[in-house]
A = this chain, B = another copy of it.
């Protein structure tokens, strides 16, 4: 039980190699044999450490969610909770755009393991995906406590998450054009629309969203 450094290292090596393959070869490039040569080992490594490609991809997806959470965590808590919320949206979108294949895999795997992401309307403390959602619930709660938005935090967070996730999904599919055009033309107005619809004043909403836009 002495940490067997080599073994644990191989495990993370595999996940990192997988993310690398994914990044510059797409989902099709994520193959056991390519992984093996990538880390200078045989395909058996995949089986001793994960039991199969499915479990490895699951681990890759988890790592992706961990990065998403980390990126969302860099958005601090300013005195403008609506601006923070928009910052979360941008962080979510940036994570996806920087690693589109990984982001796609994350939600494909979430579907593959059926209910594993869980019912986020309730408690599901184990799942990584749920953690990123809880960050959003917390941010929403602050906007409500600040008197900017109205409604049940869980429902409001679900609505906002749906909208952002949908925008990101469609942007990755090539709608809304390339570059940051979609952010300016769709995501940013969408966030204004949402917070105004949830009780914020149009002027305050535009101001809060405008504040963060320079951070893109």
The reply to whether A174 and B117 contact each other, CB–CB distance below 8 Å, is: yes
Task: Decide if the interface of chain A is mainly helix, strand, loop or mixed.
Answer: helix
Chain A contact-residue range equals 35 or more
A172 at the interface (CB under 8 A from B): yes
Q: Given contacts A162-B167, A166-B169, are A177 and B121 in contact (CB under 8 A)?
A: yes
How far, in angstroms, from A61 to B204 measured CA to CA in the complex? 43
Report B-chain residues with C-beta under 8 Å of the C-beta of A104: 111
Binds B, one of A10-18, A76-84, A193-201: A193-201
Question: What is the CB-to-nearest-CB distance from A205 to chain B, in angstroms, rounded to a whole number?
Answer: 8
Within 8 A of B (CB), among A157-173: 158-159, 161-170, 172-173
The reply to whether A119 and B186 contact each other, CB–CB distance below 8 Å, is: no
The reply to whether B197 and A192 contact each other, CB–CB distance below 8 Å, is: yes
Question: What is the CB-to-nearest-CB distance from A27 to chain B, in angstroms, rounded to a whole number?
Answer: 9
Within 8 A of B (CB), among A177-215: 177, 181, 185-187, 189-190, 192-198
Q: Given contacts A161-B166, A163-B190, are A174 and B107 in contact (CB under 8 A)?
A: no
The reply to whether A162 and B158 contact each other, CB–CB distance below 8 Å, is: no
Question: What is the CB-to-nearest-CB distance from A182 to chain B, in angstroms, rounded to a whole number?
Answer: 8
* CB<8 Å pairs between A and B, sample of 5: A114-B174, A155-B185, A161-B166, A163-B167, A165-B166
